[in-house]
Amino acid sequence: MNLNKPKKILVVDDDNTNRKLVNVILKKKNIEVIEAENGSNAINKLTPDISLILLDIYMPIMDGIQFMQNIRLKNPQFSSIPIIVLSTDDTKKQKALSLGAKDFITKPVNPVNLWEKVSKYL
C-alpha cells in the first residue's frame, strides 16, 4: 500500500452514526473516507480513484440493491470497484452477492472484522 497517498473508500449509509463509526475505524488505517447518505448521492460521488465501497442495503431514495444494479447497468466504468455490504439483514446477503458484492458484514460493525475484510480488497 502506498503510504503517501491514502486509499479512498466510499461509505454509503443513511445512518450518520454508522458512517461516523466506519470513518473513525478507517481513518486510523490512513484511509480517506468519502461519505454518502444514499445510493443516489453515492453515484454522484463516485470517482475512478475510489478503491472500495462500503454499502448499506436499506436507505431512502436509492437503496443498496438499486445502487448495485445501477452501477452494473449505467456506470460500468465503476463496476470493478469492490463492494462490501454492511447490513443488519442477513436475508439480503445472497441478493447482494449475486449483484456483485464481494463480501457482507453484519451490523453492528466489529472494527477488527471490518478491517480484515476491507484490507483484502485494497
Residue 1 lies in a domain: no
- Chain position carrying cell 442495503: 57
Q: What is the pLDDT along the chain (122 residues), one digit of tens a residue?
A: 445 678 999 999 999 999 999 999 999 999 999 999 999 999 999 999 999 999 999 999 999 999 999 998 888 889 899 999 999 888 889 999 999 999 999 999 999 999 999 999 99
Segments forming the whole domain that contains residue 21: 7-121
Residue 2 lies in a domain: no
Specify the pTM: 0.94
Residue 54 lies in a domain: yes
Residue 4's pLDDT is 64
**Helix, strand, coil share (%) of the chain residues, nearest 5:** 45, 25, 35
Give the CATH number, domain containing residue 93: 3.40.50.2300
Residue 22 lies in a domain: yes
Q: How many domains does the structure of the chain reveal?
A: 1
Nearest to 79 by CA among 69, 93, 65, 66: 69
Residue 72's pLDDT is 85
d(CA 64, CA 108): 17
